[in-house]
Amino acid sequence: MASKAIAIVAGVGPGTGASVARRFAKSYPVVLLARNPESYQDLEKEINGSGGKAIGISTDVANEKSVQDAFAKIQQEFPDAPAAAAIFNASGRFARAPFLELKPNDFEASWSVSCLGAVHFSQAALPLLLKGVEKAELSPTLIFTGATASVKSNALMSSFSTAKYATRALSQSLAREFAPQGIHVAHAIIDGVIDIPRTKGWFTDKDPLTYKIGADDIAESYWQLHAQSKRAFTNEIDIRPMMEKW
Amino acid sequence: MASKAIAIVAGVGPGTGASVARRFAKSYPVVLLARNPESYQDLEKEINGSGGKAIGISTDVANEKSVQDAFAKIQQEFPDAPAAAAIFNASGRFARAPFLELKPNDFEASWSVSCLGAVHFSQAALPLLLKGVEKAELSPTLIFTGATASVKSNALMSSFSTAKYATRALSQSLAREFAPQGIHVAHAIIDGVIDIPRTKGWFTDKDPLTYKIGADDIAESYWQLHAQSKRAFTNEIDIRPMMEKW
Amino acid sequence: MASKAIAIVAGVGPGTGASVARRFAKSYPVVLLARNPESYQDLEKEINGSGGKAIGISTDVANEKSVQDAFAKIQQEFPDAPAAAAIFNASGRFARAPFLELKPNDFEASWSVSCLGAVHFSQAALPLLLKGVEKAELSPTLIFTGATASVKSNALMSSFSTAKYATRALSQSLAREFAPQGIHVAHAIIDGVIDIPRTKGWFTDKDPLTYKIGADDIAESYWQLHAQSKRAFTNEIDIRPMMEKW
Amino acid sequence: MASKAIAIVAGVGPGTGASVARRFAKSYPVVLLARNPESYQDLEKEINGSGGKAIGISTDVANEKSVQDAFAKIQQEFPDAPAAAAIFNASGRFARAPFLELKPNDFEASWSVSCLGAVHFSQAALPLLLKGVEKAELSPTLIFTGATASVKSNALMSSFSTAKYATRALSQSLAREFAPQGIHVAHAIIDGVIDIPRTKGWFTDKDPLTYKIGADDIAESYWQLHAQSKRAFTNEIDIRPMMEKW
């Protein structure tokens, strides 16, 4: 398996991250990054037990050293392997609060995961993505998960939206810098509530199949971004459930 | 074949339209609309001769009566058939010129195809799309082909961009109105030069495989929009070649 | 008064148009264009009776010949006069309706005022604006009045928003083409309900002084755009009342 | 002078900050914040020597304690004074570099001034702005200076643009949260090169009066934002020189 291309997913939890990992595991060994091993252990077993290959690594994306350590382990596990895809799905805490009740630290906590974490991850992943450009069947792909707050900054959302706007800026700059080097960078605006255990109690009077976003469906859209030809890169998509008002 | 869902492509020419028709013909009988029968005759034969089903209808999308006549023929040919997809790919003339040298008629000519044509087409196609909602495996889909000029209005481009901005507004309004009824409406910003016979002489010093957009690759992206679950509709994508500056 | 610069306001009614005319009449003779003379007659008297100079001309901006006739009269009345400012404030009918209940003509009616009218007006006004560039104290200014629907296209708003998006595209293209020639082109997104006789009955439970936009206040902002130095052109502003949700 | 409203400018240097301070000093005592006293000392003397009132306070906006200390001094100097205007004009370092040559610290350095500094400043200034709402003639105003990189994130600009996008998100959230409380929040996209000592050598073959933005002209636009009625708040403006390509 030495130099077979791998996929790396940062921010694996019970929602989008896990679905993305499962989807990309159909084609690549996948690396699962999450701060808490509980976030990836079951998934790791599930993928390894069903014909795929997965390894989980406990990683705090907000911490440069932690990310570097994770990528050192990746290279130990998959020596010389290029990356086919790297998906950054981590997000800082979402603190909905009046601005004067927030602490500067709320902004830092949000930014240090969503944006600085994305910087750490991209700096570690891009060399592996670049390594795969020549031989890859599909263009090596770097995807960032955004949110409504990546493009609209509502009242009470400042600590979250400042960080998400920043991540979108990162994605756009990287898309422009690395496309000429063969890397496909894309940003996804997830505009709606994702149907995950944590949101089970939301909208209980409404059909979750049309009012909530399916995590597997996001994953499928990410795969289709990855599958795009270099003659037709999409750099930003929005994703919302059928019944979303926007 | 009475009630099998069909796909309808308006604006079939040697580029995106033909590619889209070929792609959707793998799954549906396709209707090819173009003003000039020369634009679709070869394609019609090609699809019919390779296991698909296509019919071409000479249609001027800028003319309401002509569009209504075309849809009357469609219903004759495919009685009771719902539409699985309707793709509006027509565009008014692109007149790059100083504003004071343009005639009001240049604006009208551009708008009456790009925007009014899209209105005529959508009003005829939406009832057929709605008819298919309940039984369709994939959400019935209405796609509009946009351009860089749909979101950026440069100097000398006013007659083209006014019409393309308008079409994007149409797409966004229809997306919001018809999603709750089960229709997936999407707008594609084609940001770059498409590799078609007409652009063969452009960028001859550059690799067309990375500097130009592949029409087949646009078609594949359109298909993937169509294939999206109702739990993850994308309403706008941008598409550009790897080497595009933006 | 032969060659003193004039201001021309298209779309004079009881709201923004009248306020803009009054504001610019403090510095320039003003020309009031409206289809119906009742829309400008009182204002014309008011301005002429209070130390200013105004002439009203019945004009249908959607009709090229009508606009050309109006500008012929302007040149008769103010021979050789350059234009200091031209404000396009006309807007097509606002038909809030489901798309399948609209007629193509609803789109045409909206577009032929908002966009084609803006083309007619700009083609007639720009030569007069250009004539004033060298001697003008303030950069000759062309302003277009936009709306929420210039940047957001909600359900049921398609006939209005297609036209308003188009007008914004026109403004942006003209801004880029004519700035190097010394003309300041700006677009104003009026995002809220203007406090005019027609909206008197709206929001009666709310304070009109904070929930509605003041027409005089829009006019003041337009004047400040006009007053901007060529070292700091603003090409787009949004305007909303303090209590607006957006 | 006890309770006369004051204006506070953060990021006073030889360009926009100084011009803004001079402009607002015509109406209010002004507080000049900059890290290095050399940035404000001459200006402080100039304003105090020409009939105005100014005090400079050495402040590192990236440091919460430093900002709190500055506002403590402000309240000592102007007991009970409300703020009429607070302008955040500080910006992190602009490091144009390939992404893989940047250090995570480059992102942090940029963000901690542009965004976190804006948070510190806004949290200290908003209570003073709110204090003035009832009696103020002009709505208390909070303005953020943005840049081209606030809305477009080019290659090599990631460390700068991530921070500037974030600041714009902050401005939009605060605009929505504090307008109902009477505060006018605005964001200015400065799209071009400002004519300041540091840029003297740029574009030497071109007319600086049309190719560069005048700092005094930015200041005048900021004043006009401040002067807007609560019936017509503008929340975002772009500012560029006549000859800018955009």
Q: Does the beta-carbon distance from C173 to B161 stay under 8 Å?
A: yes
Instruction: Give residue-wise pLDDT tens across range C107-143.
Output: 999 999 999 999 999 999 999 999 999 999 999 999 9
Taking the Cβ of residue B114 and every Cβ of chain A, the question of whether any pair is shorter than 8 Å is answered with no
Residue B166 sits at φ, ψ, to 5 deg, of: -60, -45
Could you say which of D217, D235, D242 has the minimum Cβ distance to residue C179? D242
Q: Does the beta-carbon distance from D177 to A155 stay under 8 Å?
A: yes
Q: What is the spatial distance between Cα A245 and Cα D191, in angstroms, rounded to a whole number? A: 33
Chains touching A (3+ CB pairs < 8 Å): B, D
Six-digit token string for A240? 């919302």
Instruction: Give residue-wise pLDDT tens across range A56-91.
Output: 999 999 999 999 999 999 999 999 999 999 999 999
The answer to whether the pTM exceeds 0.90 is: yes
Could you say which of D100, D119, D168 has the minimum Cβ distance to residue A104? D119
Which residues, including other chains, have CB under 8 Å from residue B241's CB and lie 6 or more apart? Answer: A230, A231, A232, A233, B192, B193, B210, B211, B212, B213, B214
Tell me the pLDDT of chain B (246 aa) as tens digits. 447 999 999 999 889 999 999 999 999 999 999 999 999 999 999 999 999 999 999 999 999 999 999 999 999 999 999 999 999 999 988 889 999 999 999 999 999 999 999 999 999 999 999 999 999 999 999 999 999 999 999 999 999 999 999 999 999 999 999 999 999 999 999 999 999 999 999 988 999 899 999 999 999 999 999 999 999 999 999 999 999 999
Taking the Cβ of residue B232 and every Cβ of chain A, the question of whether any pair is shorter than 8 Å is answered with yes
pLDDT score recorded for residue D2 = 44
- D116: which chain A residues are within 8 Å (Cβ-Cβ)? 104, 107-108, 111
Instruction: Give residue-wise pLDDT tens across range B19-51.
Output: 999 999 999 999 999 999 999 999 999 999 999
For residue B124, what is the nearest residue in chain C, using CA coordinates? C100
Cα separations (Å) of C84 from C129, C140, C217?
6, 5, 20
- In this model, does residue D12 exceed pLDDT 70? yes
Chains touching D (3+ CB pairs < 8 Å): A, C
Could you say which of B179, B217, B240 has the minimum Cβ distance to residue A242? B179
- B115: which chain C residues are within 8 Å (Cβ-Cβ)? 107, 111, 162, 166
C86: left (phi over 0), alpha (psi -120 to 50) or beta: beta
- In this model, does residue C3 exceed pLDDT 90? no
pLDDT score recorded for residue C1 = 40
Taking the Cβ of residue D238 and every Cβ of chain C, the question of whether any pair is shorter than 8 Å is answered with yes
Q: Can you give the length of chain A in residues?
A: 246
Yes or no: say if D116 and A107 are a contact pair by the CB < 8 Å rule: yes
Which residue from D184, D193, D192, D191 is spatially nearest to D234, judged by alpha carbons? Answer: D184
Q: What is the 3-state secondary structure (H, E, C) of chain C?
A: CCCCCEEEEECCCCCHHHHHHHHHHCCCCEEEEECCHHHCHHHHHHHHCCCCCEEEEECCCCCHHHHHHHHHHHHHHCCCCCEEEEEECCCCCCCCCCHHHCCHHHHHHHHHHHCHHHHHHHHHHHHHHHHCCCCCCCCCEEEEEEEHHHCCCCCCCHHHHHHHHHHHHHHHHHHHHHHHHCCEEEEEEECCCECCHHHCCCCCCCCHHHHCECHHHHHHHHHHHHHCCCCCECCEEEEECCCCCC
- In this model, does residue C56 exceed pLDDT 60? yes
Q: Is the ipTM of this complex over 0.90?
A: yes
pLDDT band at A2 (very low <50, low <70, confident <90, very high): very low
Q: Determine whether A132 is exposed, middle or buried from the number of CB atoms within 10 Å of its CB (0-12, 13-18, 19+).
A: buried
Cα separations (Å) of D49 from A213, A236, D25, D42, D45?
63, 54, 12, 10, 6
pLDDT score recorded for residue A95 = 82
Q: Does the beta-carbon distance from A169 to D165 stay under 8 Å?
A: yes
pLDDT band at C93 (very low <50, low <70, confident <90, very high): confident
Q: Does the beta-carbon distance from D116 to A104 stay under 8 Å?
A: yes
Instruction: Give residue-wise pLDDT tens across range A182-237.
Output: 999 999 999 999 999 999 999 889 998 999 999 999 999 999 999 999 999 999 99
pLDDT score recorded for residue A1 = 40
Q: Does the beta-carbon distance from A218 to B212 stay under 8 Å?
A: no
Q: Does the beta-carbon distance from B224 to A224 stay under 8 Å?
A: yes
Taking the Cβ of residue D173 and every Cβ of chain A, the question of whether any pair is shorter than 8 Å is answered with yes
Taking the Cβ of residue C177 and every Cβ of chain D, the question of whether any pair is shorter than 8 Å is answered with no
Report helix angle A116-131 to D104-114, nearest 10.
Answer: 150
Buried b or exposed e, range B41-58, using 16+ CB within 10 angstroms = eebbeebeeeebbbbbbb
pLDDT score recorded for residue D54 = 98
Q: List the beta strands (DSSP E) in B19-132.
A: 30-34, 54-58, 83-88
Supply the mean pLDDT for chain C: 96
- In this model, does residue D132 exceed pLDDT 90? yes
Q: How far is D239 from chain C (nearest CA, A)?
A: 5
Supply the mean pLDDT for chain D: 96
